[in-house]
């Protein structure tokens, strides 16, 4: 629409004569997007982007839609017609429009008016959500539902938890199959790493080529979890490649992470990432090129526009090695070297633009994924990069009046939203549980307190998304877990983790109230709340606390064993009790747990502890119970 309509002089004249045009960046103002997207869904039954909304002077929506072509086309009314019709209606039927706008506004306000249930919470929605995922599961190609098909990390985190809790092999098989098919498909950048936004087909072949920081941060983490649960080295390698892409292509010189890579490149969408068979043979030579074409499914006809090929892993490396009469390791080395040559050649093409906004919320997700990479892989660079990003946010996007949402060009602005606080606090807790430096838990406690002060609904419970009403219509309060987990879901997890560490039971009560606020919606459509259901599992089932006391270098083998395991519903704290510290006042969990001259481990369930152990073998037995 920007190219077709907003740069069209005839349409621009229509707009400027009759309207005040306002363009909103939905990543900078997700609250504005949320309110008006709800309005369009109520008015038309569907939504999407680009989002086109017409408002009264007091900002109430009365008409809207998504994409409109500049002139009538394919059954869609032209934007020129829409503009003329709305302007005429405003002149001749204003009273009717104002009534319609007031009605829509009242409905929006009702949507966000969540109140706590008086029922006791139960795990029944967990079972219902799992059954719904089983019914939606694509057993042929992985994923859930048909086209377009989105990576849904919130579903996969949930399935991992189901497997861990119940040892349900079907849950793990669905997650592993989905992750494998995604990684082999065109939605995954086979050369540089990282995932595109979504697949336009059910086969994961043809993506919308945009790459988002939040998708990749969450997917890296879920691939790492899958590796912890399965030992599948391929899934581990995909996670590593995704983290390396983030560090190479998305990290700013100042240490934080940019938001996105555009779908479009100067030569057209997808051209940057795709290949003609002739190009590949010319770059690699006929012998190697033919093998690589078999591996990546590259044909003369292509699987994309203009006989171009989106790279997918089309052949199993073992069978291809037999066909080519090569050793598997030799073939793997050949594929890796050829892929690097193709990537070097691709890097010479005009690149898609990078959206260099730095968003606090998405950086929080990136911090968590890098910390998980450090824990699982032991790569120190990942932890240091996570710390650098956190330091940037805390120094550049934190002021005396609180946390801010967006940074660009040396300027930070826009009050932080719930996602900013919740995702960042989760990242800071993750950093603390990886290196046990006191300053990170201090920041997590402080920002969590600010989040409560600014966003907690004192009357009904749960967290508002923003600090003020949007356009005078409503404050947003939502728990819906989509491609990303909702701020309320992550906040509930944070509250439970901090309650365990600090002994502050009021935080656990707030977590329970947060889930209760959305309980009616959860019972109606549990599949829309899969990340909140993992918080419910945390709240209602047994929890584990691990405390390690002694000098950090002597505790290193214990810490390594904890980090490499998948241990949800577990908090970990470590400290050197021989050094002067006030940490035990902040973290009640540490009180009474000393090293007695040797590195000592305390493993507890719901604060009931086994006898302390100072042997690594004994510690492993307790961990593996």
Return the residue matching tokens 């152990």.
613
Kindly state whether residue 557 falls inside one of the protein's structural domains: yes
- Cα separation, 59 vs 67, in Å, equals 21
Q: Which residues make Cβ contacts (< 8 Å) with residue 224, sequence separation at least 6?
A: 236, 239, 369, 372, 373, 376, 377
Kindly state whether residue 459 falls inside one of the protein's structural domains: no
Among the candidates 111, 145, 174, a domain finishes at 111
* Inter-residue contact 575 to 583 (CB < 8 Å): yes
Kindly state whether residue 75 falls inside one of the protein's structural domains: yes
Kindly state whether residue 62 falls inside one of the protein's structural domains: yes
Among the candidates 348, 375, 399, a domain finishes at 348
Kindly state whether residue 232 falls inside one of the protein's structural domains: no
Among the candidates 90, 111, 132, a domain finishes at 111
Kindly state whether residue 616 falls inside one of the protein's structural domains: yes
* Inter-residue contact 339 to 288 (CB < 8 Å): no
Kindly state whether residue 491 falls inside one of the protein's structural domains: no
- Cα separation, 505 vs 495, in Å, equals 9
- Cα separation, 174 vs 133, in Å, equals 9
- Cα separation, 195 vs 245, in Å, equals 10
Domain that holds residue 310: 277-348
Kindly state whether residue 518 falls inside one of the protein's structural domains: no
Q: Which residues make Cβ contacts (< 8 Å) with residue 36, sequence separation at least 6?
A: 51, 53, 61, 64
Read off the pLDDT of residues 64-85 as tens digits, 9 standing for 90 and up: 999 999 999 888 899 999 999 9
Phi-psi sector, 597: left (phi>0), alpha (psi -120 to 50), beta: left
SS3 78: coil
pLDDT for residue 582 = 80
- Give the global pTM: 0.94
**Domains held by the chain: number:** 3
pLDDT for residue 113 = 83
Q: Which CATH number does the domain housing residue 573 bear? A: 3.40.30
H or E, element range at 455: helix 438-455
Residues of the chain with pLDDT under 50: none
pLDDT for residue 105 = 94
DSSP 51-74: -EEEE-TT--EEEEES---SS-BT
pLDDT for residue 580 = 60
Read off the pLDDT of residues 223-262 as tens digits, 9 standing for 90 and up: 999 999 999 999 999 999 999 999 999 999 999 999 999 9
């Amino acid at each position: 629409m920007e190219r077709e309509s907003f740069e069209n002089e005839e349409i621009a004249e229509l707009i400027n004569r009759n309207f005040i045009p306002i363009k909103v960046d939905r990543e900078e103002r997700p609250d504005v997007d949320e309110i008006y997207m709800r309005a369009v869904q109520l008015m038309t039954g569907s939504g999407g982007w680009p989002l086109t909304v017409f408002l009264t002077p007091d900002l109430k929506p009365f008409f809207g839609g998504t994409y409109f072509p500049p002139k009538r086309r394919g059954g869609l009314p032209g934007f020129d017609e829409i503009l003329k019709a709305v302007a005429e209606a405003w002149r001749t039927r204003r009273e009717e429009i104002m009534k319609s706008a007031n009605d829509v506004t009242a409905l929006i306000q009702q949507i966000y008016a969540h109140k706590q249930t008086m029922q006791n919470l139960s795990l029944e929605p967990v079972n219902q959500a799992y059954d719904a995922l089983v019914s939606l599961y694509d057993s042929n190609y992985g994923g859930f539902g048909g086209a377009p098909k989105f990576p849904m990390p919130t579903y996969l985190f949930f399935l991992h938890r189901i497997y861990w809790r119940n040892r349900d092999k079907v849950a793990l098989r669905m997650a592993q199959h989905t992750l494998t098919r995604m990684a082999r498909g065109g939605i995954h950048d086979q050369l540089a790493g990282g995932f595109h936004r979504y697949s336009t087909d059910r086969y994961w072949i043809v993506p919308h080529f945009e790459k988002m920081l939040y998708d990749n941060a969450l997917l890296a983490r879920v691939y790492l979890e899958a590796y912890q649960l399965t030992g599948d080295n391929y899934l581990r390698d995909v996670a590593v490649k995704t983290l390396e892409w983030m560090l190479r292509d998305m990290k700013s010189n100042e240490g934080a992470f940019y938001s996105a890579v555009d779908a479009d490149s100067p030569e057209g969408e997808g051209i940057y990432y795709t290949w003609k068979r002739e190009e590949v043979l010319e770059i690699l030579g006929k012998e190697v090129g033919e093998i690589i074409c078999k591996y990546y499914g590259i044909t003369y006809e292509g699987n994309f526009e203009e006989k171009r090929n989106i790279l997918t892993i089309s052949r199993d490396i073992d069978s291809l090695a037999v066909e080519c009469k090569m050793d598997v390791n030799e073939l793997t080395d050949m594929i890796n070297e050829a892929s690097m040559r193709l990537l070097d050649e691709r890097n010479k093409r005009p690149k898609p633009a990078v959206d260099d906004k730095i968003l606090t919320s998405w950086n929080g997700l990136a911090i968590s994924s890098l910390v998980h990479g450090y824990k699982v892989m032991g790569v120190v660079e990942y932890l240091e990069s996570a710390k650098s990003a956190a330091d940037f946010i805390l120094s550049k996007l934190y002021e005396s009046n609180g946390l801010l949402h967006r940074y660009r060009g040396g300027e930070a602005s826009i009050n932080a939203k719930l996602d900013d606080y919740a995702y960042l606090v989760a990242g800071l807790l993750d950093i603390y549980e990886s290196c046990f430096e006191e300053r990170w838990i201090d920041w997590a406690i402080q920002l969590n307190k600010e989040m409560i002060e600014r966003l907690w609904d004192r009357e009904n419970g749960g967290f508002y998304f923003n600090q003020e009403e949007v356009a005078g219509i409503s404050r947003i309060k939502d728990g819906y877990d989509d491609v990303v987990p909702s701020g309320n879901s992550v906040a509930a997890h944070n509250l439970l983790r901090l309650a365990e560490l600090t002994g502050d039971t009021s935080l656990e009560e707030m977590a329970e109230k947060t889930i209760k606020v959305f309980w009616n919606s959860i019972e109606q459509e549990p599949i829309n709340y899969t990340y909140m259901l993992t918080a419910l599992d945390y709240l209602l089932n047994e929890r584990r606390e691990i405390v390690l006391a002694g000098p950090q270098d002597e505790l290193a083998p214990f810490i390594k064993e904890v980090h490499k395991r998948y241990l949800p519903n577990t908090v970990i704290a470590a400290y050197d009790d021989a050094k002067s510290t006030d940490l035990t006042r902040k973290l009640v969990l540490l009180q009474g747990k000393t090293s007695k001259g040797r590195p000592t481990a305390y493993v507890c369930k719901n604060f009931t502890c086994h006898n302390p152990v100072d042997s690594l073998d004994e510690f492993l037995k307790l961990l593996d119970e």
